[in-house]
Chain A
Amino acid sequence: MFEKEFQNIHDLAKKHDIKHYDVYLSKSKSFSVKVFHQDIDTFSYSDSLGLGIRIIFNDVTGYSYTEKLDKESLSAALLRAKNNAKAVDYKEKVVLVNYPAIDKDLDIYNKDLVGIPLEDKINKAKEIEKVALDSDERIINVPHALIGDNEDFVKIANSSGLNTEYSSNACYGFSFCLAKEGDETKSGYFEIISRDFSDIIPQKISNGASQKALELLSAHEIQSGNYPILFNNEMAATLLGTFWSIFSAKTVQEGQSLLKGQLGNTIAHPIVNIIDDALLNNGYNTRPFDDEGYPSQKTSLISDGILQSYLHNTMTALKDGTISTGNASRSYKTSINISPSNLYIKPGLSSKSELYSVFPKCIEIVQLSGMHSGCNTISGDFSMGAQGFYCEEGQRKYPIHNFTVSGNFLQLLKHIVGLADDLKFKLSATGSPSILVENLSISG
C-alpha cells in the first residue's frame, strides 16, 4: 500500500536536495460499540491516516507531518521538515540503515476479523450487559459493556533504502459493573483481547467483572501496619505499567531514572526476571519492527535480579555505545521516543494458592486507584488507594477496603519473594503473574 506516495516522497526529496530522511506512515481503523440499558450508548468508528517525515541535516533533526497525501502536500511537508531542521540547534547523531527483516512469521493479522457483521458485535455488547445484570440481583449497573476492534497498518521507509510494512489487528470485549449491598457499592471489570472474535465470550467477560465486584462486598477496614502483600496478576501488571519508564534509556540519559548507572547490578530479588518481547506469540504489541524500522527482538531487562539492559532506540543506543533493542516509538505527529512492546515479569512455578500460605497472614490487593497522582516515576515512590482481601492460614478471610499501600518500586522489586504461574497481560501489553512482596506499609 501507498507505494506511489512513497515514491513521490523519494522523488521530491531528491528535488529539494534532502539526503537523509525517514518516513513513517500509519493508518488505523477502530470501531467500538458500548451498550447501556440494552441500547447503543456510544458507537465510534474511525479511519485515520497520517504520515510523519524526519529529516536529518548536520546532526539536527526536523519533523513534519501531514494527513493529506497528494503530491503538493507531501512536497510542503518535506520543505517544512527541512526548515524545521534549520531551526533546531540540538545535535544528535542519527544513523539511517536498511535493516534486515526478521526471520519469523508473527501471525498478527487475522483477515476473518474484517468481515464480522456489525450486528454480531452489537449483540455481544448487549449480552455482556444482560448476563451481568441477570447473574445476581446485587449487580445494579453495568456502566461499560463494550465490544471493539482495531486494525493498524504501519509503513516505514528511509533514505538508505529501507521500505517495509505490516498490518495487525485485534478485537476486545470489556465490562465494568457495579455491585451494591446496603450502602456499600463495589466495582469490578474484566476484559478479553484476541485476534479471534469467537474468543470474546460475553459470559466470561460479564462473570469475570461481576465476580470481582461481588467478592469485595461486606468489606472490613484494616489496621495500619506493615504486611506481606500479594498483588494479584492484574495489579502487579498495573504497577509494572506505571513504572516501566525507569527502563527507558532516554529517561536514564536525561537523569530521570533510578536505574542510572545500575547496569550489571542486582536491583531485584534473584527470582525476578523482566522481559520485553516484541516477538511474543499472540502478544498485543507483537510486531516485526519498531517505529524506526529496527527489527524486533526479545530483550532481557532483569535476569535473576540483575539489570541487563535498558530499552533503546537507535539514537539512545548510539549515545551509550550499544545497539538498539527495537523499542523506538512514535506517532506520525510526534518525535521518536521509547516504549516497551510486550513487557512482563516472568511467571514462577507456584500456584497462586500456594503464595497465600508463605506467611501466616498477608494482604491480597486486587484493585488500585490513583496511579497517576500517587506514583512518582522519578523517585519510584508510590502511595495508592487499594482494595483486596485479608488472608490467613493460606486463604482469603474477608474483603478489605479504604486503605492505601505505599512503598518504593525499586524496593518492591528487591522484596519480591514469590511468583505465581498465572501470567496475565493487560490491554496496555504489560503482564505479570501474581507476586508476593515481603513487606509493605498499609494505612487504613
Chain B
Amino acid sequence: MIRKSIIESVLQKALSNGADFSELFLEDSVSSTMQLLDRKIVKSISGNDYGAGVRVFYGHRAIYAFTNDVSEKGLLTVAEAVSKAETGDKRTEIIDLTQKTYDSPHKVLIPFNSVPIQDKIAFVHSIDNASRNFSDYISQVNINYMEKYQNIMIANSEGLSTQDQRTYARVYVSSIAFKDNQMQTGSEGPGALMGYEFFNNVDPEELGRKTAERAVKMLLAEYAPSGKFPVIIGNAFGGVIFHEACGHSLETTSVAKGASVFADKLNTRIANPCVTAIDDGTMLNKWGSTTIDDEGSPTQRTVLIDKGMLQSFMIDKLGGMKIGLPSTGSGRRQSYKFAPTSRMRNTYIDKGPDTIQDMISSVDFGLYAKKMGGGSVQPGTGDFNFAVGEGYLIEDGKISKPVRGATLIGNGKDILKRISMVSDDLELAEGMCGSQSGSIPTCVGQPTIKVDEIVVGGRKKIA
C-alpha cells in the first residue's frame, strides 16, 4: 500500500529520540451494515476506514498515535509526535525491512460484492418472517447484517513487514416478545471469518424461530427463585462467564499491572481438574481467528488451563516484555485508531466426559441456565453478575419448568474450582469483545458444565 522506503523512514523517525522499538500499522477496510426494524430495512451504511498508527516503546512504556493522512508527510508528522514523547539518546538506525508472507488457511469462497443486495435483503426478511410467524407475542424483530473486509499491513523496527486480509460476515437477531407491559428478548448473532458462503450456510427460518421461541418461553415463564444452589450452564454462549470473569484476568494487560487474581498463579492449580481451557486463534474460519495478530505475530492455539493447572497467559509484545514471556500472538486491536493489547480470540472450556442427563439427574434443586444473557464483571476482583437468557428449574433430578429473571452472581476465581462436571457438547458462539484496544470479534464457548454452587438472584414478583 505504501512504498518500502517511506515505511523505513517513518520507523526510523519514530525511533530517533531513543525509543527501543517502533511499529507502523496500516489499515484499509471496507464494511457494510444493514438494519431491519418494524419489518423494514431502516438503515444501510457502508464505508471505507483508512489510516495508520505508529507505536514506539521506551522501555516498558508504549506511545501511540494515529492519522488518516497516510502521505509521506502525514506519516512522518505522526512519527515525529511519538518520538517527542520522551527524550532519550539520539538514535540513528538503518531499518531494512524483509517481507514476510503468511498463507491464510481461512479461505473465502464467495466475495460479498458478487451477491446482489436483493439476496441479502431477502435473507434478513426471511429471518424476520420466521420469528414473527412463530408467535403473536413477537412485537418487534431487530436484525443487523454486517460484512467487512479488513486489510492490514504491519512493519516494525525489527525488520518485519507483513500483511493480512480478514473477511467477516455476521448477522445479529433480537426477537422481542411483549405481553401485559412485560418484555423479553431472545437473541442470536452467528458470524464467521468467511465470505458470503457463511450466510448460505445459516438457516434463516431456524434462526428466526429460535430467537422468537426463547423470547416467548421466557415471557410466559414464572420468576426464578433466589438462593444458593447448583447451576448447570448451557454450552456455546454459556462460555461468556469464563470469558468475562476469567479470560480477561489471563490477558497480560491485567496480569502485568498486578491487577489480576491469577498474576502469580502460573503452573499452579486454579480450577477443578475437569477444566481445560483454550484460547485458539487458528480455528478454521472461526469468528475470532486471524492468520497473524495485529502486531504481525502468527496466531497460536494457547492452552490456558490444562486439567485445572494454569499453563499460560494471553500475551502480546509489550505485555510479554513486562512479564518476561514470549508473545502468544494475542496482540489485537479494533482498528488503526487503537494501540494493540493482549486480547482473546476463540476462548473455550474444552469438552469432558459427562452428559447433560447425568448432570441434571445429579441435582435435587437447582437451575439449568441453558442460554446466558449479558452481564458485567468488576475488573480487579473478578466478581460477576450475569443475566440468564433462558432458564429452567431442576427439581428432583428433572427439568420442571422454565423460569425467568434469574441472575448468576459470583467470582471468576471461585467458580473455576466449583465446576464439577463437563459434558461433550462443546460449541462456540460469536460476540464482540470490548476492552482497551477497542471492540474486536471473539468467540466464547464451552460444553454444558455443572457448577456445584452459585448465588442465583431471582426476582420476587411484587403483588
Q: Which A residues contact B (CB, under 8 angstroms)?
A: 33, 39-50, 52, 62-68, 73, 76-77, 80-81, 83-90, 118, 333-335, 373
8 of the cross-chain contacts (CB-CB < 8 Å) are: A41-B61, A43-B82, A46-B66, A47-B74, A52-B47, A73-B50, A87-B120, A334-B45
List CB contacts (< 8 Å) of B47-71 with chain A. Answer: 47-51, 61, 63-69
Say whether A47 contacts B48, CB under 8 Å.
no
Residues from chain B with a CB closer than 8 A to the CB of A62 are: 44
Residues from chain A with a CB closer than 8 A to the CB of B344 are: none
Expressed in whole angstroms, the minimum distance between the Cβ of B13 and any Cβ of chain A is: 14
Residues from chain A with a CB closer than 8 A to the CB of B67 are: 46-48
Say whether A87 contacts B47, CB under 8 Å.
no
Say whether B65 contacts A46, CB under 8 Å.
yes
Say whether B40 contacts A46, CB under 8 Å.
no
Say whether A63 contacts B44, CB under 8 Å.
yes
Residues from chain A with a CB closer than 8 A to the CB of B63 are: 40, 42-43
Say whether A88 contacts B68, CB under 8 Å.
no
Say whether B48 contacts A73, CB under 8 Å.
yes
Residues from chain B with a CB closer than 8 A to the CB of A77 are: 47-48
A86 CA to B68 CA in the complex, in Å?
Answer: 30
Say whether A88 contacts B43, CB under 8 Å.
yes
Q: Which B residues contact A (CB, under 8 angstroms)?
A: 28, 32, 34, 38, 40-51, 61, 63-69, 74, 77-78, 81-82, 84-86, 117, 120-121, 337, 376
Q: Do A45 and B68 form a contact, CB below 8 Å, given A88-B42, A90-B41?
A: no
Give the residue of A81, A83, A87 whose beta carbon is less than 8 angstroms from that of B41. Answer: A87
Say whether A48 contacts B51, CB under 8 Å.
yes
Say whether B117 contacts A83, CB under 8 Å.
yes
Give the residue of A40, A41, A48, A64 whose beta carbon is less than 8 angstroms from that of B47. Answer: A64
Say whether A118 contacts B44, CB under 8 Å.
no
Q: Which residue of A lies closest to B80 (CB)?
A: A45
Expressed in whole angstroms, the minimum distance between the Cβ of A76 and any Cβ of chain B is: 7
Q: Which residue of B lies closest to A68 (CB)?
A: B50
Q: Do A50 and B44 form a contact, CB below 8 Å, given A40-B86, A67-B51, A68-B50?
A: no
Residues from chain B with a CB closer than 8 A to the CB of A49 are: 68-69
Say whether B85 contacts A40, CB under 8 Å.
yes
Say whether B84 contacts A118, CB under 8 Å.
yes
A40 CA to B86 CA in the complex, in Å?
Answer: 8
Q: Do A335 and B82 form a contact, CB below 8 Å, given A49-B69, A67-B68?
A: no
Give the residue of A68, A87, A333 whose beta carbon is less than 8 angstroms from that of B121. Answer: A87
Residues from chain A with a CB closer than 8 A to the CB of B117 are: 83, 86-87
Q: Which residue of B lies closest to A122 (CB)?
A: B85
Q: Which residue of B lies closest to A85 (CB)?
A: B44
Residues from chain B with a CB closer than 8 A to the CB of A87 are: 34, 41, 44, 117, 120-121
Q: Which residue of A lies closest to B125 (CB)?
A: A89
A334 CA to B82 CA in the complex, in Å?
Answer: 30
Say whether B41 contacts A89, CB under 8 Å.
yes
Expressed in whole angstroms, the minimum distance between the Cβ of B163 and any Cβ of chain A is: 18
Give the residue of B34, B47, B65 whose beta carbon is less than 8 angstroms from that of A66. Answer: B47
Say whether B42 contacts A90, CB under 8 Å.
yes
Expressed in whole angstroms, the minimum distance between the Cβ of B56 and any Cβ of chain A is: 10
A66 CA to B50 CA in the complex, in Å?
Answer: 8
Expressed in whole angstroms, the minimum distance between the Cβ of A157 and any Cβ of chain B is: 18
By Cβ-Cβ distance, the 7 closest A-B pairs, closest first, are: A84-B44, A65-B47, A45-B65, A90-B42, A47-B67, A67-B50, A43-B85
Expressed in whole angstroms, the minimum distance between the Cβ of B22 and any Cβ of chain A is: 14
Q: What's the dominant secondary structure at chain B's contact region? A: strand
A41 CA to B78 CA in the complex, in Å?
Answer: 18
Say whether A88 contacts B49, CB under 8 Å.
no
Residues from chain B with a CB closer than 8 A to the CB of A48 are: 51, 66-68, 337
Say whether A67 contacts B49, CB under 8 Å.
yes
Residues from chain A with a CB closer than 8 A to the CB of B376 are: 373
Q: Which residue of B lies closest to A92 (CB)?
A: B42
Residues from chain A with a CB closer than 8 A to the CB of B50 are: 66-68, 73
Say whether B44 contacts A44, CB under 8 Å.
no
Expressed in whole angstroms, the minimum distance between the Cβ of A396 and any Cβ of chain B is: 31
Say whether A76 contacts B121, CB under 8 Å.
no
A80 CA to B66 CA in the complex, in Å?
Answer: 26
New A-B contacts (13) at CB < 8 Å, excluding given A40-B86, A67-B47, A68-B68: A46-B66, A46-B67, A47-B67, A64-B45, A64-B47, A67-B48, A67-B68, A68-B48, A73-B48, A80-B32, A86-B117, A335-B43, A335-B45
Residues from chain A with a CB closer than 8 A to the CB of B44 are: 62-63, 84-85, 87-88
Say whether B42 contacts A64, CB under 8 Å.
no
Q: Which residue of A lies closest to B339 (CB)?
A: A44
Q: Do A45 and B47 form a contact, CB below 8 Å, given A87-B41, A87-B121?
A: no
Give the residue of A43, A47, A65 whose beta carbon is less than 8 angstroms from that of B45. Answer: A65
A88 CA to B33 CA in the complex, in Å?
Answer: 12
Residues from chain A with a CB closer than 8 A to the CB of B61 are: 39-41
Q: Do A80 and B82 form a contact, CB below 8 Å, given A44-B65, A48-B51?
A: no
Say whether A63 contacts B43, CB under 8 Å.
yes
Say whether A47 contacts B47, CB under 8 Å.
no
Expressed in whole angstroms, the minimum distance between the Cβ of A24 and any Cβ of chain B is: 12
Say whether B337 contacts A45, CB under 8 Å.
no
Residues from chain B with a CB closer than 8 A to the CB of A67 are: 47-51, 68
Say whether A66 contacts B48, CB under 8 Å.
yes
Say whether A47 contacts B69, CB under 8 Å.
yes
Say whether B45 contacts A84, CB under 8 Å.
yes
Q: Which residue of B lies closest to A63 (CB)?
A: B45
Residues from chain B with a CB closer than 8 A to the CB of A81 are: 46
A86 CA to B46 CA in the complex, in Å?
Answer: 13
Q: Which residue of B lies closest to A334 (CB)?
A: B45
Expressed in whole angstroms, the minimum distance between the Cβ of B121 and any Cβ of chain A is: 6
Q: Do A45 and B81 form a contact, CB below 8 Å, given A68-B50, A86-B117?
A: yes
Q: Do A44 and B64 form a contact, CB below 8 Å, given A67-B50, A83-B117?
A: yes
Give the residue of B38, B41, B337 whose beta carbon is less than 8 angstroms from that of A46. Answer: B337
Residues from chain B with a CB closer than 8 A to the CB of A43 are: 63-65, 82, 85
Residues from chain B with a CB closer than 8 A to the CB of A68 are: 28, 48, 50, 68
Say whether B41 contacts A88, CB under 8 Å.
yes
Say whether B68 contacts A47, CB under 8 Å.
yes
Expressed in whole angstroms, the minimum distance between the Cβ of A21 and any Cβ of chain B is: 14
Q: Which residue of B lies closest to A83 (CB)?
A: B117
A335 CA to B41 CA in the complex, in Å?
Answer: 14
Residues from chain B with a CB closer than 8 A to the CB of A64 are: 45-47
Say whether B46 contacts A84, CB under 8 Å.
yes
Expressed in whole angstroms, the minimum distance between the Cβ of B385 and any Cβ of chain A is: 10
A167 CA to B266 CA in the complex, in Å?
Answer: 53
Between A62, A84, A334, the greatest number of chain B beta carbons within 10 A of the residue's beta carbon is seen for A84
Residues from chain B with a CB closer than 8 A to the CB of A333 are: 45, 47
Expressed in whole angstroms, the minimum distance between the Cβ of B156 and any Cβ of chain A is: 19
Residues from chain A with a CB closer than 8 A to the CB of B28 are: 68
Expressed in whole angstroms, the minimum distance between the Cβ of A380 and any Cβ of chain B is: 16
Residues from chain B with a CB closer than 8 A to the CB of A52 are: 47
A83 CA to B47 CA in the complex, in Å?
Answer: 12
Expressed in whole angstroms, the minimum distance between the Cβ of B259 and any Cβ of chain A is: 12
Residues from chain A with a CB closer than 8 A to the CB of B65 are: 43-46
Residues from chain B with a CB closer than 8 A to the CB of A373 are: 376
Residues from chain A with a CB closer than 8 A to the CB of B64 are: 43-44
Q: Which residue of A lies closest to B385 (CB)?
A: A373
A80 CA to B82 CA in the complex, in Å?
Answer: 36
Residues from chain B with a CB closer than 8 A to the CB of A83 are: 117
Residues from chain A with a CB closer than 8 A to the CB of B47 are: 52, 64-67, 77, 80, 333
A46 CA to B51 CA in the complex, in Å?
Answer: 11
Residues from chain B with a CB closer than 8 A to the CB of A89 are: 40-41
Residues from chain B with a CB closer than 8 A to the CB of A88 are: 40-44
Say whether A47 contacts B41, CB under 8 Å.
no
Expressed in whole angstroms, the minimum distance between the Cβ of A96 and any Cβ of chain B is: 19
Q: Which residue of A lies closest to B62 (CB)?
A: A42
